[in-house]
């Protein structure tokens, strides 16, 4: 959600750690919640699901179309599922008689379980309330266009809301398929999952699946460890497919998915190396660390083993994921929050932390910038060495989560002290500043430091604040200042657009067409 100048109604408040901050306007706040949150998942400063629902209800009454567009954008562009389901369930409950709600619901159904999850979200939020017509009809539209394969694949038999419940509640017009589903006669589809379950995780099974082209991109990414363990014929072709820029673009994967896969493969290599090698001396330790933590930066030798090749392929996939985004001309300062609150995991089901996403986005920015200066900050700010032309993963490996308090002012102090002159600053943070200028004065945010820095360098400097946790506040408010949120590398594309005056994330949401 990027704006060229922050809203005039921005007012001072307190952030969740109790320190002064600007309160975001309602649109910006809702986008921050939706694009940086999984539903009912704890964060360092608490789950914001209740605030999301409350704000969605308020905006539904005055800005319902925007709420609908945001839900569709979150699901179809940024792959945010649970928050999109929650938003649409709330919107359908609050807004009656509007066709755009029905269109938004059917537009947000990307796969079969979106139907059952949206119904489950409604029943959880509004127990005992009748199902709104807009939600029922939108889901019926989506069910009517599904194939028998999809209906059978997403039976959701072990969930409270099953596909059989959905077809009965929504009165789908596909009567024969519905009858077969309810009677248990709709055949279980043959897929790579069923074949793998039936025949086992063996070399022969994977060779059969790969030869028949049955395994989609996302499944290859998530099963890479299985593939490496079984080492089927055709594995090299799989790795090239994972690294293919066209396949990366079509995969719609959040960038940290590639990093998660890389880390899983890396763990295999470390385990193999340590089980078969006795490490002697610091030089050997350094060689091992370099081999297991740094992606390949030069030509790929033919002698690489499958694990090496997989790590290289994932590194290239990440580079490809940012290759087509707008470049940032001039000099860019990137500030990465490595404080204690950033070590919180994105969800209880994930090992990825907010600081990991920040480091990854920072590495992407280095990739996109003509010239880049990078700082990591917690209690203090430290310059992070980066190498021009290095891979995204190699750059990401330079960041360490130090823990401690969040002193964003330290970045301005260091930049001023060392006369670092830049054209823009990009802060990647949860915005929970609790040390520095705001603590001393109790009345001012970091906007004052930004203005002082601009006076010092004597020219226009853009400030892009990228929110990664969605607590609803920011430290910056003024001209040439943008606020955006999200975990996808797509959020980075709006920085150049904002500076060129050609749009931003909020404009992208407003441009969503409801099918």
329-374 pLDDT, tens digit per residue, is: 999 999 999 999 999 988 887 778 899 999 999 999 998 999 999 9
pTM of the model: 0.82
The secondary structure of residue 353, as a DSSP letter, is: B
pLDDT of 375 over the 70 cut? yes
Instruction: Give me the mean pLDDT over the 424-435 stretch.
Output: 92
Of the pLDDT bands very low, low, confident and very high (cuts 50, 70, 90), residue 278 is very low
DSSP string, 275-333: HH----HHHHHHHHHHHHHS---S---TT--HHHHHHHHHHHHHHHHHTTSPPEEEEEE
**Residue appearing with tokens 């608490």:** 46
- For 335-475, where are the alpha helices, taking DSSP H only? 354-368, 392-396, 409-417, 437-441, 447-457
Of the pLDDT bands very low, low, confident and very high (cuts 50, 70, 90), residue 443 is low
pLDDT of 163 over the 60 cut? yes
Give percent of the chain with pLDDT exceeding 90. 51
Instruction: Give me the mean pLDDT over the 243-259 stretch.
Output: 83
Please state, in angstroms and rounded to a whole number, the distance separating the CA atoms of residues 236 and 243: 11
**Higher-confidence position of 83 and 300:** 83
Please state, in angstroms and rounded to a whole number, the distance separating the CA atoms of residues 446 and 477: 9
Of the pLDDT bands very low, low, confident and very high (cuts 50, 70, 90), residue 215 is very high
Please state whether beta strands 462-467 and 424-429 pair in parallel, antiparallel, or not at all (unpaired): parallel
- Residue pair 378/340 in contact (Cβ under 8 Å)? The answer is yes
**Residue appearing with tokens 């537009």:** 107
**Higher-confidence position of 58 and 286:** 58
- Residue pair 478/6 in contact (Cβ under 8 Å)? The answer is yes
């Amino acid at each position: 959600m990027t704006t060229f100048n922050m809203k005039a109604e921005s007012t001072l408040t307190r952030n969740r750690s109790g320190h002064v901050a600007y309160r975001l306007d309602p649109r910006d706040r809702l986008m921050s919640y939706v694009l940086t949150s999984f539903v009912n998942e704890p964060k360092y400063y608490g789950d914001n699901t209740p605030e999301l629902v409350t704000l969605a209800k308020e905006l539904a009454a005055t800005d319902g179309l925007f709420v609908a567009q945001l839900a569709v954008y979150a699901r179809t562009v940024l792959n945010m599922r649970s928050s999109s389901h929650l938003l649409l369930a709330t919107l359908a409950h609050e807004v009656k008689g509007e066709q755009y709600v029905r269109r938004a619901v059917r537009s947000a159904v990307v796969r079969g379980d979106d139907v059952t999850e949206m119904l489950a979200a409604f029943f959880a939020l509004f127990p005992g309330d009748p199902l709104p017509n807009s939600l029922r009809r939108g889901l019926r539209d989506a069910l009517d266009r599904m194939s028998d394969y999809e209906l059978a694949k997403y039976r959701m038999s072990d969930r409270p809301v099953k596909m059989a419940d959905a077809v009965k509640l929504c009165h789908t017009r596909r009567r024969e398929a519905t009858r077969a589903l309810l009677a248990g006669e709709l055949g279980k589809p043959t897929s790579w999952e069923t074949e793998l379950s039936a025949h086992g995780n063996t070399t022969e099974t994977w060779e059969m699946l790969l030869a028949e082209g049955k395994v989609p991109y996302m499944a290859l990414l998530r099963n890479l460890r299985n593939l490496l363990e079984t080492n089927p014929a055709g594995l090299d072709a799989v790795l090239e497919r994972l690294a293919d820029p066209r396949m990366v673009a079509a995969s719609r994967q959040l960038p940290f998915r590639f990093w998660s896969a890389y880390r899983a493969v890396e763990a295999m290599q470390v385990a193999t190396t340590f089980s078969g090698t006795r490490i002697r001396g610091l030089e050997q330790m350094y060689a091992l660390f370099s081999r297991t933590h740094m992606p390949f930066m030069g030509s790929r030798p033919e002698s690489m083993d499958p694990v090496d090749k997989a790590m290289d392929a994932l590194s290239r996939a990440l580079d490809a994921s940012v290759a087509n985004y707008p470049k940032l001309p001039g000099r860019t300062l990137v500030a990465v929050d490595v404080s204690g609150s950033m070590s919180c995991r994105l969800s209880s089901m994930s090992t990825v932390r907010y600081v990991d996403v920040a480091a990854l986005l920072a590495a992407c920015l280095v990739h996109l910038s003509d010239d880049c200066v990078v700082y990591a900050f917690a209690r203090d700010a430290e310059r992070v060495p980066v190498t021009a032309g290095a891979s995204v993963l190699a750059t990401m490996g330079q960041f360490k989560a130090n823990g401690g308090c969040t002193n964003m002012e330290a970045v301005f102090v260091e930049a001023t002290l060392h006369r670092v002159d830049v054209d823009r600053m990009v802060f990647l943070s949860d915005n929970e500043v609790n040390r520095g200028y705001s603590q001393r004065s109790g009345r001012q945010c970091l906007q004052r430091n930004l203005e002082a820095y601009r006076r010092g360098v004597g020219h226009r400097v853009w400030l892009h604040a990228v929110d990664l946790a969605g607590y609803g506040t920011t430290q910056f408010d003024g001209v040439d200042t943008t606020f955006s949120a999200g975990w996808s590398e797509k959020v980075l594309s709006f920085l150049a657009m904002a500076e060129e005056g050609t749009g931003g994330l909020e404009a992208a949401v407003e441009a969503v067409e409801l099918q």
